Each structure stands twice: as structure tokens, then as C-alpha cells.
Structure 1
Amino acid sequence: MRKLFGTDGVRGTANTPPMTADMALRLGAAVGRYFRREAGGVHRVVIGKDTRLSGYMFENALTAGLTSTGMNVLLLGPVPTPAVGMMTRTMRADLGVMISASHNPAQDNGIKFFGPDGFKLSDEAEAEIEALVASGVDPAQAKHIGRAKRIDDARFRYGERVKASLPRDLRLDGLKVVLDCANGAAHRTAPEVLWELGAEVIAIGASPDGHNINQGCGSTHPDAAAAAVVAHGADAGIALDGDADRVVVIDETGKVADGDQILALLAARMAATGTLTGGALVATVMSNLGLERHLQGQGLRLERTAVGDRYVVERMREGGFNLGGEQSGHIVMTDHATTGDGLMAGLHVLAEMQRAGQRASELCHRFDPVPQLLQNVRYTAGQTPLEMPPVRDAIAGAEAALQGQGRLLIRKSGTEPLIRVMAECEDETLLRDTVAGVVSAVETAVAG
């Protein structure tokens, strides 16, 4: 059982357990020992981060822990999460680390790990690392302490890899694009890549100060980007999150297309060119029922997984699929990347606009979503509201009410202390009443 790791690494409020400098030091030592199984040879780890102020603290603590076990540390600085997956492989590292809380506010931070293949670690590997954190590890002998070195061109290497995912003759000339970088890790890389491909770029959310990451901007707050698209008469908008592994696309009218719509567009293009493997894409239980119905109408399948992009990737690798993602905007194209890559997905949408000669509004609305309602209820550490009888009764009643008409999904967030209550139903009155009943029961349980 994992207690330290959640859906996507270790995450929490900075300077509050488990996200403390001491824990980062212990995690660094534990993961260093886990990946440095033999005594000899050269062992290296790459570390990237987003733009949060606390990133400096965690970068130093992780470096101390890792070098204490004999790992050589290569510091990438602020880079998108997919850049860490890429650089882990291209630099032949034993391990990759990303310091980021993704779409969370600036006071939070997190630590994600990638194996030598550039993919995120399995639950089993995380459980073993947790055991090492609990038991402690012996440091390396003084003569075997690792070194640390800064890599100055990581974002350029990543940018070239992203551009290489497009046909060599494709350019974005003539496209005016609003690019919201969420004041995060891609604030320099993403505008450079689009400009180099020929687009006219209007960058917003590109002035990080350590505190403003995801603040009123980015994929979780796309209103600013949507307003900018309309105000500038742009052809499209791309809104990334803090570590640029998520994206939403905004059409020329200011309408937002989420991950489900992007997946539907990419699946159609890949199926038409014979490059969609397995006749399916992989998404989570959160993806809209409308996406599933749309794919069925195209002769394609939707494979569902638990929430979390790494579970999507695990299923993709198991089944040999090459397209997957989440409604939230993680888009995984394993022909080119090992994890969700918001910039890459956004570029492929723009590329399809150029290839097809169609507007974003024509391409990015692939299906009418089934009405879906998601509400969150915050709880405090130690509470187990989903195990309380009144909550269980409310959930059972909601499931009975939706029987044959929709679906209900109740889960704990893997990244925040939230109970997420989601339902889908064509009858919007029934949808609202169903969700309200469960939310009320959870709120009462949390307050009591």
C-alpha cells in the first residue's frame, strides 16, 4: 500500500508534510538507492522543475539526497514535465525527477519520478521506494558521493524534439495563436517553438514570479486565453498548465475544447492515415460518454482506465495503443513522447488546421458531450467520508436513480484532499439532483 505517493507522485503544500525539504532529502536518498542497485559504474539522474518559488528548496534537497547515494545529478532548470521524460532517455539517465504540482496553485508542489525508459514509475516501484524512505538508506562512501551539474540547453533540446513530431515540411505561417503558458514551465519554450514554426504568437501567462503559476490563467482557467483570442482576432488559442503536460484548445469564437475533443480530433486524423494502432484510444473513467459514442460511430473503441495519466500510459503500453489521454487535457502520443505533452498536442491541432484548411471551430467540436456535472468536497487529513454509512446510502440511492439513464463516479482525488462527485445524464434535472444529494451527504459527513 502506498501512503506517500498519490495519483501523480508526492504532492502537497510546500513546507507542510509530506512536502518538506527533509522529506525531499529522504526521497532523494531512497530513490537513489533504488536505482543504484550495483556498486560500480556511473549513475545519473536528471531533475527538472516548474516556476514555483519552493522549487529551489526541493531541487537542493533532492540533489543532496541523490548525491549522498552516489548518483550524479544533472539539473535541467525550469522545463515542462515531458521534457524530463525525454531527457531521461536521451541522456541515458537511470532516473528522472520533475518538481511540480502541475495545475495546482503556487503554494503546492510535488515530486514525480521517471524510470530510465522515460515512463513514470509503477505503483509497485513507488511502494518499494516508500519502504526505503521509512527504513532509511545507508549513504555512499565519501569517495563515491555524486556530483551535480547544470544543463543549460534542456529546453532547446526538448523544443527540437516537439517540432520533430510534425512533418518536416509543415509550417504554421499565417496562423495567429494566443498561447497561455500559465506562468509555468513552458513560458519560454512554447512561444519559441510556435514562432520558429512560423506562427504569429500572442503570449500570455508568460511572466512567472514564483507565485503566479496557474493563477487565473492556463488550462484550468482558460477564460483569459479565450478573451484574448476574441480580442486579437486570433485563429486559435492554446492554454497549457503549470508543467505543460496538459492543454485545452480555444477556437476563434472563444469556445474551449477539452481533452476529450482533442482526443477525438487526433484519433480521426490518425485513423484516416492508418497510424492509430489497435483501432482504439485510451482514456480514463472521467472521459465523457459522448466521446465513447462518437468513437463507436467511427468504428473505433475507447479503453477506460483509472484516473491518472500514468494509468493511461500503462494501458497503452500493455495493449500496444499509441493515443490516449484525459478529459483534463493530458494527451499522450507514445510515438513521440512518454507522458502527456500539452505543447505537442496543441501543435498537432494547429497542424491539422493547416493541413485541412479548416477553422478551429470546425475541427475541435467533434461531438456533443452528454451533460456532465462534477463537484468537489474538501476534507481534512484523517477523515474517511466515503466509508460513512450515510454517504454510502446516498451513493447507493444516486446509482439507483441513474440506473439505465447515466453513470455516477465518486472518488478521492489523488493530488488534493478532495472527494470528487461526477455524474453524466441526458436528464439535466436528474443530473443536478443526483450530484447535489451525494455532495450534501459528503459535506455533512465532513462537517460532523
Structure 2
Amino acid sequence: MITASHNKVNDNGVKIADPSGGMLTQEWEPFADAIANSPTPQHLVQLIDEFVKKENIRFDGARSAEILLGRDTRPSGESLLEAAKQGVYSIVGATATDMGILTTPQLHWMVRARNKGMKATELDYFEQLSSSFRCLVDLTPNQIKMNKTDDKLVVDGANGVGGEKLEVLKKMLNSMVIEVRNSGKEGGVLNEGVGADYVQKEKVVPQGFYLKDVGIRCASLDGDADRLVYFSVQSNNASNIDLVDGDKILSLFALFIKEQLSILKMEGDDHVDENYEARLGVVQTAYANGASTDYLKQLGLEVVFTPTGVKYLHEKAAEYDIGIYFEANGHGTILFSEVFLSWLDARNNELSSKSKGSEQQKAVLRLLAVSNLINQAVGDALSGLLLVEAILQYKGWSIHNWSELYHDLPSRQLKVKVVDRTAVVTANAETVVLRPPLIQEAINVEVAKYPRGRSFIRPSGTEDVIRVYAEASIQEAADSLANSVAKLADQFLGFGNSG
């Protein structure tokens, strides 16, 4: 996939989908890095030769390989796609298939579908999303249909590919009133003052949204449509928003899934003993707001943490029958195990013959519809948006009801320049510092000074800085805690600027 996601329009890059449809396997990352940084063509050929031998890859054309190529709307994408084709065709037995202009999650979905022997065109993607969405909406309890959720949804398309695709999708969803702004047709610039990354980080309205939008449910996609956040415009100031981020999307999904599993366990059918005890797991990173973690634990859910990075979240979520993960930035999805899906299918068949139309059967059908709607290859803003809309309809909730699930703890993030970021070694999903010694004890002393205090440091993955996260019961306390911990990081690791 040729895209630079939420970065500026002049940037471009590559995202690679594994045969599973997921991200590139971690074992191959060093090789990908080495290739990208290869100084000469000769060195590149040598690297490939060494890697082929190490991995025992047959290079004689005996096995064919098909590479699906996609790109977003960036002007540089066309020439880069041609270069990618040339690269693919230089490999004996490999063919390149140009899938056209796509969102990143669409390409991941196509690779997964193709390798499962399923239909994998863009139309198939749209049809699967729209039909499973309609199925979920049809299963909304009758009494809730009377209590209509605010009808209109306004979506910021980041002036990118997601806006284009949503325009196509909404034609297949007659029951939904969607207005797409910043679709790229109005002449706006990709990711400039628009998009999920901008809205989530700056906590302001994107371009094209005004005071007249107060009270309306709004959503924002990022540049390649793999992130999603919701927001509502505040009445007192058009630039202020009430942000509904990835943590709250995760909480909504987890609440809904838990409710369906609870219905499945209800007494009243003849086969309670055959109920499969599904393991539902919620996966977060240390950056998840503490209030969201508290809320999920109060629901009685199993919450686990991984180091920062979608690849770690996805891998952990795959260990459950149903694994849900999201980052606060709006990237995440729900994974269903094949074993659990097989059980749901069998349970549906059994209930069809014995208690068709029962609450248990409806719960089974809802879970099956969710598994078809949500993109199980990778986080997908379009499928995520439709699932949010279906659940809000199911519960009869406005965006305000959803936002009130819990109140975020105030937080602050800082960066500290250091001599060598690798001097920091962390454990427990980056929440505890093992090295340098004594710094963790010093952080603990600072954290203990503040009600609801929590703070951690971790090395940046890209630059020589240490990232500091702090949260507390009030903003002033979060700011003060972040500054105290930043000073500690500077004293232990930096240039001693803090005295």
C-alpha cells in the first residue's frame, strides 16, 4: 500500500500487508529496514540474496506469487506504483495486480479475503460492510427503534481517500443520513487542518465545521482511513470540541459485545450447558486514559496492556475468542477466533431449529454480523464507523450519552532530549523503568504526590528523545507531574538542563 497515512500530502511511503492481511511480520522488519536504507543497487541485490538463502525462499519461479498494489490519493502515488510494479515483475514467478486507489484497510482486507479463497474486489468489500451493517440495524430491539438516535452524521474525510470511499458506501446504506465534508473534491489539501490525527491531537474542529454543527454527531477519518475519532462541536465556542477518541470507541464496542455474550448465557433455553464460555479480552497501551481502563474493569472485563504499537496490540488481541484493541488515536479493531466463529455458526443452526427468533439467537446473529462488519485484518475507519453507528442505534444513544460513559482524566505528554534513548529499558508494557537504576523509584515518589496520579517514560522509536506521559485528577496536577518526571528524565539521561 503506497501511502503516508496522516502525514503531509508531499510525503509518501509504504505499508505492507502480510498474507494473513495483517501487518508485516515482525521477523521481517529488520530486512525491510535494511532494504529501505540500502546505499547502492549492488548492496540491495546482496541483501536480497542473503535473505533469500536465510529464509530458504525458492527463487526459480517454481512457486508463483501475486502482489496486490494499492495507493491513496497523493499525486506521487501513481509514479511510485509504477516503480513497485517494475520491482515485482523483476522477481521470477511474481505478478503485480493494481487494485487502484484504495484505503489502506481495503487493501489489507483484500489480501486476507484472497488468501481465504473469498471474493476480494472493492465491490465485495462494500457489499460485506453494507449487508452486515443492515443486519445489525435490523436486529435493533423494537422498543429502541422508537427512540431515534440523532439522525444525521457529518464526517470529515481528511481530504483523502476515505471521504471518496464513504461517498460510495453511503449510496448502499439508504437508512443512514451521512454528510461527507473534506472529501477532497472541494479543493482542500490532504491532512491540512483536517483528519483524525489533527482532531485528536489538537482537540479542535477540522476545517469545514462551524457553530451551526452544535449537537450534531461528527466523525473524522485520517488520510488513509485506518483511524477514526468522533466529536461534537461545543455551543460556547465553535473551535472547541468534545472529543470521543479511540478509548471511548473501544469502551462502546466492549460494552456491546459483553451485553451480547451475557444474553447468550441467559437461562431459558434447553441448552444452557452447551454455552461456550467465550474469552473476551480488551487490549490497551499505557497511553490509554486511566479513566477508560477503570471503566472497562468496572464492567468486569479482562484488560491487558502491551508495549506501544499496533503490531503488539493486534498480536495480543488474537489470543482471545474475541479480542478488542484500540489506541487513543482511533486505530483499532475487533478480532474473532475461528473456533468461536464456528461455535457461533453451530449455535445459530441449533437455535434456528429449536427457538428461532429468541433473544439468544439474536445475540448470536449480532455477533456474527459484527465479525463480518469489522475489518479483522487491521484497523479500518469505515467499518469502525458503521459499527459505532449500529451500536448507537441499538442503544438509542446520542453522542452525548456515549461521551458520558466516563470522564477522561486530564493528561500531559512531553518530550525530553537525551544523549542516548537506548539507555532506557522498560518492562510491564513500558510502565516500569528497569534501567537506569533508581529512576523508577524517583518517578514513584512524584506520582504519589497527586490524586489519581500516573506517569511513565519510554524511549521514542524514531528520535533521541524520551517520551513522558502523566495524568492526574486535575489538569494542573497532570502538568506538574509531567514536568517533575521530565526533570527526572533530564537529570538521569539528558544533558542536565534541569539543574
Q: Provide the TM-score with structure 1 as the length reference.
A: 0.70
Asked whether the equivalents of residues 29 and 68 of structure 1 are also in contact (C-alpha less than 8 Å), the reply is: no
In 1: Cα distance, 2:111 partner to 2:416 partner: 37
Within a 5 Å distance, the mapping from 1:414-429 to structure 2 comes to 414=461, 419-426=466-473, 428-429=475-476
Q: Which has the higher helix share?
A: 2
Structure 2 residue corresponding to 1:87, chosen from 97, 110, 116: 110
Asked whether the equivalents of residues 193 and 206 of structure 2 are also in contact (C-alpha less than 8 Å), the reply is: no
Superimposed CA distance per residue, residues 235-277 of structure 1 (whole angstroms, 9 cap, x where no aligned partner): 3111111121111012465421011111111111111111894
Q: CA 1:428–1:168 in 2, change beyond 3 Å: closer, same or farther?
A: closer
Calculate the aligned-residue CA RMSD, in Å.
4.3
1:166 corresponds in structure 2 to 133
1:189 corresponds in structure 2 to 165
In 2: Cα distance, 1:27 partner to 1:353 partner: 55
Asked whether the equivalents of residues 230 and 243 of structure 2 are also in contact (C-alpha less than 8 Å), the reply is: yes
2:80 corresponds in structure 1 to 58
- 1:398 matches 2:443: yes
In 1: Cα distance, 2:47 partner to 2:123 partner: 27
Asked whether the equivalents of residues 281 and 320 of structure 2 are also in contact (C-alpha less than 8 Å), the reply is: no
Within a 5 Å distance, the mapping from 1:268-283 to structure 2 comes to 268-274=255-261, 277-283=278-284
Superimposed CA distance per residue, residues 302-355 of structure 1 (whole angstroms, 9 cap, x where no aligned partner): 111111122111011123333211111112122342111122111111112222
Q: CA 1:384–1:57 in 2, change beyond 3 Å: closer, same or farther?
A: farther
In 2: Cα distance, 1:185 partner to 1:415 partner: 27
- 1:243 matches 2:227: no
One-letter amino acid of the structure 2 residue matched with residue 60 of structure 1: E
Per the TM alignment, residue 298 of structure 1 is displaced from its structure 2 partner at its CA by 1.2
Asked whether the equivalents of residues 280 and 323 of structure 2 are also in contact (C-alpha less than 8 Å), the reply is: no
One-letter amino acid of the structure 2 residue matched with residue 82 of structure 1: P
Per the TM alignment, residue 87 of structure 1 is displaced from its structure 2 partner at its CA by 0.5
Secondary structure in 2 aligned to 1:339?
Answer: coil
Secondary structure in 1 aligned to 2:128?
Answer: helix
Superimposed CA distance per residue, residues 275-319 of structure 1 (whole angstroms, 9 cap, x where no aligned partner): 894233112221111112111211112111111122111011123
Per the TM alignment, residue 356 of structure 1 is displaced from its structure 2 partner at its CA by 2.4
In 2: Cα distance, 1:197 partner to 1:160 partner: 10
In 2: Cα distance, 1:35 partner to 1:356 partner: 53
Per the TM alignment, residue 52 of structure 1 is displaced from its structure 2 partner at its CA by 2.9
Structure 2 unaligned residues grouped into runs of 5+ = 1-13, 17-22, 31-35, 139-147, 235-240, 265-276, 336-370, 425-434
In 1: Cα distance, 2:495 partner to 2:187 partner: 33
Secondary structure in 1 aligned to 2:292?
Answer: helix
1:368 corresponds in structure 2 to 407
1:123 corresponds in structure 2 to none
One-letter amino acid of the structure 2 residue matched with residue 90 of structure 1: A
Q: Which moved more, 1:287-296 or 1:276-285?
A: 276-285
> Higher Cα Rg: structure 1 or 2?
2
- 1:206 matches 2:183: yes
Within a 5 Å distance, the mapping from 1:263-302 to structure 2 comes to 263-274=250-261, 277-302=278-303
In 1: Cα distance, 2:381 partner to 2:86 partner: 31
- 1:40 matches 2:62: yes
Structure 1 unaligned residues grouped into runs of 5+ = 12-16, 93-115, 119-152
Superimposed CA distance per residue, residues 198-242 of structure 1 (whole angstroms, 9 cap, x where no aligned partner): 333322221179993222111122233497275245631111111
In 1: Cα distance, 2:462 partner to 2:165 partner: 26
In 1: Cα distance, 2:478 partner to 2:226 partner: 31
Percent of pairs with identical residues? 22
In 2: Cα distance, 1:375 partner to 1:207 partner: 33
Asked whether the equivalents of residues 153 and 216 of structure 2 are also in contact (C-alpha less than 8 Å), the reply is: yes
Asked whether the equivalents of residues 137 and 390 of structure 2 are also in contact (C-alpha less than 8 Å), the reply is: yes
In 1: Cα distance, 2:186 partner to 2:305 partner: 38
